[in-house]
Amino acid sequence: MTVLYIILGIIVVAIFWVIALYNGLIRLRNRTQEAWSDIDVQLKRRHDLIPNLVSSVKGYMTHERELLEKITKYRSQAIDEQKTGDTASLAKTENLLGGALGKLQIAFEAYPDLKANQNVTQLMDELSDTENKIQASRRFYNGQVRDFNTKIESFPNNMIAGSLKFKKFDFFEADEKERENVKVEL
């Protein structure tokens, strides 16, 4: 009879462990998806600011027309990739867009008349604030991805997580071009 109680106790503990593990995985997955959604919100904000900025700057920056066209192209491409849900290509395009916006901020410094325009200055400040929020959202997302991936890869969690079809999330990473030093040419 005691052996039966021990076996039933082990089974009950195992069931509670699986339930707690499953709930923990669901919680981490939802946090990771929420973190991705936060990135999405900031990217949407960036995409909404860009047309206003480009139209405000166009009249002043005739020499940088190619840069403005690239920004518009990358923005459009990023919006399309957001709809498809392909995080890898979206990350690559967003990195290109971020680089082009960085070049715009550098070019902005070379135009005193442009810097004096309060509308453009406000848009640049908003864009700079948005870039900072995007970076913070990416760091938060990567932290959630790390926690989730660690949980599903750890033993014995990996056996349960694999059988319940939990998949790893990809980190939001900078591409090779973003890792290079920025060249400022005046």
Mean pLDDT rounded to a whole number for the chain: 79
Rounded to an integer, what distance in angstroms lies between the CA atom of residue 138 and that of residue 44?
14
Does 100 map to a domain?
Answer: yes
pLDDT value of position 179 = 47
pLDDT value of position 16 = 92
Left if phi > 0, otherwise alpha if psi is -120 to 50, otherwise beta: which for 165? left
Give the pLDDT of the chain (186 residues) as one tens digit per residue: 788 889 999 999 999 998 999 999 999 999 998 888 888 888 888 878 777 777 766 666 666 677 777 888 888 888 887 777 777 777 788 888 888 877 777 776 766 666 656 666 777 778 788 888 888 888 898 899 999 999 888 888 888 888 888 888 888 776 555 445 444 343
Domain count, the chain: 1
Domain containing 37: what range? 2-179
pTM: 0.63
Does 152 map to a domain?
Answer: yes
Does 185 map to a domain?
Answer: no
Rounded to an integer, what distance in angstroms lies between the CA atom of residue 68 and that of residue 50?
10
Does 186 map to a domain?
Answer: no
- Report the CATH number at residue 54: 1.20.1440.20
DSSP character at residue 111: -
Rounded to an integer, what distance in angstroms lies between the CA atom of residue 139 and that of residue 124?
23
Does 116 map to a domain?
Answer: yes
DSSP character at residue 171: P
**Helical H segments across the chain, by residue range:** 2-58, 65-84, 87-109, 112-116, 118-153, 157-163, 176-179
